[in-house]
Amino acid sequence: MSLRKLIKQYPVACFIAATLGLSFAAMLLPFPKDSAFAMIASIMVLIPTLVAFTLVTVMVGRKGLRAFLREVFNGQMSLKWAVISLVLGFALHFGSSLLALVTGRIAAIEITTPNAFFIAVFPLALFEEIGWRGFALRRLLDRHSPFTATVLIGFPWALLHFALFLGFAPGTSPIAEMLVVFAFALPLTWVYVRSGRNVLVATVLHGALNAFGIVAANIPPAELLWFVLASACLIDAGLVLIDRRRWFTRPSVTPIDAALHQGQLLA
């Protein structure tokens, strides 16, 4: 079987394998210890989009890549779902602070002043979302329910974070980070599906999930991710309950999806 046929037949598996492989390779780069985490994370953020672009080009050529970009950015971002995504990201972190407050781990909720990172996380999130949601999740949703697709895409996504934090963030629990990222996958799928598979909306939520950590500033560092995980699990449970029929129903296939999966060139 040729490489092109292999990619056409197993596009998501190829995406995951290539993204994991290149990301693990990035972790072997000889960066100074004090800057290794930031440098490697910056590289890893770009890999999902680069892999997605490469796979689409191999499958269907340059015209197919333009079709993929039209597919990813299908229509304008809904203001309603952008606001919902921001509120959801804020609520998750505010919930972690509330849990820390009621359990006596903090005396009051403290919010730090936003800095440049607060803004930078949104464009950086786009590079991850084009690959993970725009390429991989979209294709999984054509064959599986949103819940199953979330599990299939959430595990390798979380595994990357586990490896990064295990090797380069000794003060943070890699298990907690992995579980938090896995829990984040569910609200990302929810806004992506409910907004009409809009990657920009998922990007807003992804950015918010990173940026609004400022509302959990005074939770003890060793406990922070566990409180975030608890809050994320509560929100995940709520999203499944209020939209349970949608979670376990396979969405219909769009004409663009069908054409891309069959390797057709779209004008």
Provide the token pair at 73.
């950015």
Taking CA atoms, 146 is separated from 42, 158, 159, 202, 233, in Å, by 29, 17, 20, 14, 17
Would the pLDDT of 110 be above 60?
Answer: yes
Contact 215, 90 (CB under 8 A): yes
| Average pLDDT for 71-78 | 78
* Position 253 confidence tier, pLDDT thresholds 50, 70, 90: low
Residue 107 lies in a domain: yes
Q: Per residue in 187-234, pLDDT tens?
A: 999 999 999 999 999 999 999 999 999 999 899 999 999 999 999 999
Q: Residue 255's pLDDT band (boundaries 50, 70, 90)?
A: very low
Whether residue 266 lies inside any domain: the answer is no
When the pLDDT of each residue in the chain is averaged and rounded to a whole number, the result is: 91
- For residue 37, tell me if it sits in a domain: yes
The rounded distance, in Å, linking the Cα atoms of 168 and 158 is 15
Q: Give the domain extent around 172.
A: 3-261
Question: Given pLDDT bands bounded at 50, 70 and 90, which one contains residue 258?
Answer: low
Is 32 inside a domain boundary? yes
Instruction: State pLDDT tens for residues 14-23.
Output: 999 999 999 9
Q: How far apart, in whole angstroms, are the C-alpha atoms of residue 39 and residue 197?
A: 31
Q: Is residue 111 part of a domain?
A: yes
- Overall number of domains in the chain: 1
Q: Is the per-residue pLDDT at 148 higher than 50?
A: yes
Structure tokens at 195: 């907004």
Q: What is the mean pLDDT of residues 223-250?
A: 95
Q: Note whether residue 128 is domain-resident.
A: yes
Amino acid at 112: T
**Average pLDDT estimate for 65-94:** 90
Residue 267 resides in a domain: no
Taking the C-alpha atoms of residue 116 and residue 120, their distance in angstroms, rounded to an integer, is: 6
Specify if 253 maps to a domain. Answer: yes
